Structure 1
Amino acid sequence: MGKVVLVTGAARQLGGRFVRRVQRDPEVERVIAVDAVAPPHGLGSAEFVRTDIRQSSIARVLAEHAVDTVVHLAVTGGSPGPGGGTGSAVKETNVIGTMQLLGACQKSPTVRRLVVKSSTYVYGGASRDPAVFTETTQSKSLPAGGFAKDAVEVESYVRGFARRRPDVAVCVLRFANILGPYADSALAEYFSMSVMPTVLGYDPRLQFVHEDDVLDVLRLAAGEPQRGTLNSGTFNIAGDGVLLLSQCARRLGRPTVPLLLPAVTWVGSALRAVGVTDFSPEQIRLLTHGRVVETSQMREVLGFKPMYTTAETFADFARSRGTGLLPPERVGQAVDRVGAMLNGHSPDVGVAGAEEGAQR
């Protein structure tokens, strides 16, 4: 008999894609897709069970289908869309739903593997943070609210579950910002704005992971470990390299509006109120201080190498969003010339120096 895989968050874009992806694995016999709302997309041959993981009924689903592998994708920032819901409902699903799911897994005699989608947002964002986070780095400023705090709480519950059920292989994947043609995150909405507000005086370093790589690493973590690898533990997942926020704006061809931090916070609240984008406090911290993580454990222990670098991920995302208000080349040249003049150089020297720096 093959594996029976249960996937939460199946109504969301990423969850639906993973359901369709994992059922193609020869070692998988059945896939049980779970969500509180009906998915707007097809799920292939998977069996959809409409149930809310905040309720005790999730335990019956595990028992009835003799599930041995659980992939928990219902931990989300709650951007608008199917399965998104209100802020309070999203938080309850993230935290209470995870507690119910872990309680059901703890009582299940058949569950042998648990994969949890987490986020590098657990590291917080502060000026005193280290330049690069490893999986064991303690943040100088833990998240005070929002999705980042939810992710911290979820991981604490998962660690408790792992202690109570040492026979279950537990894998926590901390994803950097997920982008790609189908991305529906708050950051994707921000990058899709015609004009991007930024924090005056800051140009944060950002990392991205392609949604196709997300599907591949989830499949790897849910499967049996290959020789020389270990499919349990906590792993940072990100593409190689970093991009500055200014580089992202230039590659999109979108102008930026630098604002003082209090003004950015006010603008973010206004945009969130009218439903333009979920410009949350943790996203503002990301766009202020940035976040970069070390991924050697991902390669050496988990045995995963992303197909896309951070730059390639962003390029694929940018192609899917079309050209901005200005051609990217003109935006880049204008920024380079202004920067050169501010530094006391001739415009031509500034452009040449910038191009040389970009090549390096």
Structure 2
Amino acid sequence: MPSNIVLVTGVGGELGGRLLARLGNNPEFERVIGVDTTPPAKQVLQRMGHAEFVRADIRNPLIAKVISTADVDTVVHASTTAHPAGPGRRMAIKEVNVIGTMRLLAACQRSPKVQKLVVKSTAAVYGAGARSPAVFTEDSELIPASSSGYAKDAVEMEGYVRGLTRRRPDITVTMARFVNTIGPEVDTVLSRYFALPVVPTVLGYDARIQLLHSSDALEVLEQATLHDKPGVFNVGGDGVIALAQAIRRAGRVELPVPRGVVPSVAKVLRGAKVVDFSADQVRLLNFGRVVDTTRLKEVFGYTPRWTTKEAFDDYVQGRGLRPVLDGDRLAGLAGKVLIAAATGQASTR
């Protein structure tokens, strides 16, 4: 069914905001409504066309009133967070991921006008470990790396979506499981990680990383909104890049640390408010994760324009990252990180 009145959640974020602007400039839609607790970025507000922003919290049952009053027929749920860039309030993010999704889906279920739901999920639902398959398909078992992390939220969220499809089989549901997105304007845990002058890695491991350019992520959400694309789809760029190779391409310096020290290093970086390494991210950097995108290309009908390496290089160029050359400064930084990590380990014994 063609979309007519669209509601987009999470428009205060980079991807949700860009989607709001893209849909707001499409004359095919009668109305485009963006909701979030914070307004979109200034540049989005300046070029959002006929789209409108409504300050609303999807954790509040009043979201149902917004959907019913506006006669929304298509809902794009883009506010889920799987890889927060910096240290954030865990419970607040979990509430948006889980409670917010529950409220939103309940509103969709009650509204007879809603006929389409597009959900941004994450490939982190597959987890990452020594026994993980080399390539995950959409039918692979969902095993998040942590029993309490953001990937666990995504597994719960997907369960609620499946429940909605059973109760409202008339709703067309598209689930997009994105690998880690990257791009010049994207602020994620990986974009901050690769910008560190000294990049800590796990000694003896060189994980394979698959990335998705933010422009391809935007295109997938837009296509799912414009056309009926029912199903679950892995979304990622072609090819992979080894972690050590990515660090070199970014002009950074690798700092291999023993596996047992990695959680302490992550704690130091989190405490310094530099980057938030969850247990899911630590395991990703240890074991890597690659998904199969055959269904995306053959069933959904979209082939990402950027390969993993091209997406990473565009991030490096767009961020203006330059090779780090000051050896003395690097040695000092590396020493501080290891000392802080060692101190943290000793204090927990």
TM, length-normalised to structure 1:
0.86
Q: Would you say the 8 A contact 1:190–1:279 is kept in 2?
A: no
- Look up the equivalent residue of 2:324 and give its one-letter code: L
**Greater length-normalized contact order (CA 8 Å, ≥ 6 residues apart):** 2
Question: In 2, distance between residues paired with 1:90 and 1:260?
Answer: 31
1:339 aligns with none
1:40 aligns with 41
Change (3 A) 1:182 1:29: same
Moved more, 69-78 or 122-131: 69-78
1:323 aligns with 322
Deviation of 1:239 (Å): 0.6
2:99 aligns with 96
Deviation of 1:142 (Å): 5.3
Residue 133 (structure 2) pairs with residue 135 (structure 1): no
1:215 aligns with 218
1:334 aligns with none
- Look up the equivalent residue of 1:33 and give its one-letter code: G
Q: 125, 129, 134: which is aligned to 1:126?
A: 129
Change (3 A) 1:142 1:203: closer
* SS class of match (1:79): coil
1:30 aligns with 31
- Look up the equivalent residue of 1:75 and give its one-letter code: T
Which digits, 9 at most, give the CA deviation of each residue in 1:209-251, with x for residues without a partner?
11001111101111124xxxxx011000001001000110110
Moved more, 72-81 or 27-36: 72-81
Q: Would you say the 8 A contact 2:145–2:283 is kept in 1?
A: no
Deviation of 1:38 (Å): 2.6
Question: In 2, distance between residues paired with 1:282 and 1:85?
Answer: 15
Which digits, 9 at most, give the CA deviation of each residue in 1:112-142, with x for residues without a partner?
1000000000001110010000000115665
Deviation of 1:273 (Å): 1.8
Deviation of 1:326 (Å): 4.0
- Look up the equivalent residue of 2:312 and give its one-letter code: F
Q: Would you say the 8 A contact 1:78–1:90 is kept in 2?
A: no
Q: 253, 260, 267: which is aligned to 2:265?
A: 267
Residue 71 (structure 2) pairs with residue 66 (structure 1): yes
Residue 240 (structure 2) pairs with residue 238 (structure 1): no
Deviation of 1:295 (Å): 0.3
2:179 aligns with 176
Change (3 A) 1:139 1:94: closer
Deviation of 1:40 (Å): 3.3
Cα RMSD over matched residues? 1.7
Pairs within 5 Å for 1:246-285: 246-285=244-283
- Look up the equivalent residue of 1:13 and give its one-letter code: E
* SS class of match (1:49): strand
Which digits, 9 at most, give the CA deviation of each residue in 1:65-103, with x for residues without a partner?
11011000110136358xx95221011000000000000
Question: In 2, distance between residues paired with 1:85 and 1:47?
Answer: 28
Question: In 1, distance between residues paired with 2:234 and 2:152?
Answer: 17
Size of the aligned set, in residue pairs, is 320
1:330 aligns with none
**Percent of aligned positions with the same letter in both sequences?**
49
Question: In 2, distance between residues paired with 1:224 and 1:140?
Answer: 31
Change (3 A) 1:314 1:298: same
Which digits, 9 at most, give the CA deviation of each residue in 1:167-194, with x for residues without a partner?
0000000001100111111111111111
Change (3 A) 1:206 1:78: closer
Deviation of 1:207 (Å): 0.4
Unpaired stretches in structure 1, ≥5 consecutive residues: 226-230, 328-360
2:54 aligns with 49
Q: 138, 160, 164: which is aligned to 1:161?
A: 164
- Look up the equivalent residue of 1:39 and give its one-letter code: P
1:4 aligns with 5
Deviation of 1:48 (Å): 0.9
Which digits, 9 at most, give the CA deviation of each residue in 1:248-291, with x for residues without a partner?
01101100100111211101012112211011111110000000
Q: Which runs of 4+ in 1 moved over 6 A?
A: none
Residue 207 (structure 2) pairs with residue 204 (structure 1): yes
* SS class of match (2:255): strand
- Look up the equivalent residue of 1:9 and give its one-letter code: G
Residue 84 (structure 2) pairs with residue 79 (structure 1): yes
Unpaired stretches in structure 2, ≥5 consecutive residues: 327-349
Question: In 2, distance between residues paired with 1:121 and 1:263?
Answer: 23
* SS class of match (1:183): coil
Q: Would you say the 8 A contact 2:183–2:312 is kept in 1?
A: yes
* SS class of match (2:262): helix
Change (3 A) 1:2 1:94: closer
Q: Would you say the 8 A contact 2:144–2:152 is kept in 1?
A: no
Q: Would you say the 8 A contact 2:63–2:107 is kept in 1?
A: yes
Deviation of 1:36 (Å): 1.2
Question: In 1, distance between residues paired with 2:3 and 2:259?
Answer: 54
